Amino acid sequence: MARRAIYPGTFDPLTNGHVDIIARACRLFDEVIVALLINPGKQPLFSVPERIEILNEVLKPRFPQVSIETFSGLLVDFARERQAQAVIRGVRSIKDYEYELPMVLMNRRLHPELETVLLVASEENSYVSSSLMKEVFNLGGSIEGLVPEIVIERMRQKKTQ
Ligand code: PNS
């Protein structure tokens, strides 16, 4: 049976930290579903179709075993539907671990067969977060090398719109 994992998130925007975690997940699993959470409560920078387009452009050429999907509702329900064995999350710090642990335990309670695999981000991405990227970019700072080139292009376009 193919080993299938889900990498869930909001990806607003996709960063090189996310790409690094996806590359690591692809070494461990036959199939990796990058699952974009549709969260109507949040006001994102990029719409769902814009984020899907960015994910496709960046990930498709590099990672043949990656598919990109959206989900809403409980992650465990989506994992059951897709018959995934694992959820991937990236951790950069103890703070991330503290944020992830309750989710790991809750997801385990809801779906005991689903394992969460916490992957440690590379050193150079250890401070890269979507919110920090948006803040620095909006205040005129460079985020070159920290997010895919297409993300910078799209952020520039948004600024001039
Ligand atoms: O990139 P993010 O915003 O840190 O991702 C958070 C995400 C999408 C993994 C989390 O919010 C999630 O799984 N949401 C789906 C709803 C759900 O299952 N909630 C209970 C989690 S224990």
CA distances from 96 to 89, 103, 104, 109, 141 (A): 10, 11, 12, 20, 25
pLDDT confidence of residue 4: 98
At 138, is the pLDDT very low, low, confident or very high (cuts 50, 70, 90)? very high
Catalytic residues: 18, 42, 92, 130
| DSSP single-letter state for residue 12 | T
Question: How far apart are the CA of 161 and the centre of ligand 1, in A?
Answer: 30
Which residue's CA is minimally distant from atom 10 of ligand 1? 9
Question: How far apart are the CA of 160 and the centre of ligand 1, in A?
Answer: 31
Atom of ligand 1 nearest to the CA of 89: 9
Q: Is 14 in the pocket of ligand 1 (CB under 6 A)?
A: no
| Type of residue at 28 | L
pLDDT confidence of residue 159: 85
Mean pLDDT, to the nearest integer, of 46-58? 97
Which residue's CA is minimally distant from atom 7 of ligand 1? 9
At 143, is the pLDDT very low, low, confident or very high (cuts 50, 70, 90)? very high
Contact 16, 92 (CB under 8 A): no
CA dist., res. 63 & res. 60, Å (int)? 6
At 41, is the pLDDT very low, low, confident or very high (cuts 50, 70, 90)? confident
pLDDT confidence of residue 161: 79
- According to DSSP, the residues that pair with 91 across neighbouring strands are 120
In this model, does residue 160 exceed pLDDT 90?
no
| DSSP single-letter state for residue 91 | E
Task: Copy the structure tokens of residue 85.
Answer: 């064995």
Helix (H), strand (E) at residue 77: helix 75-82
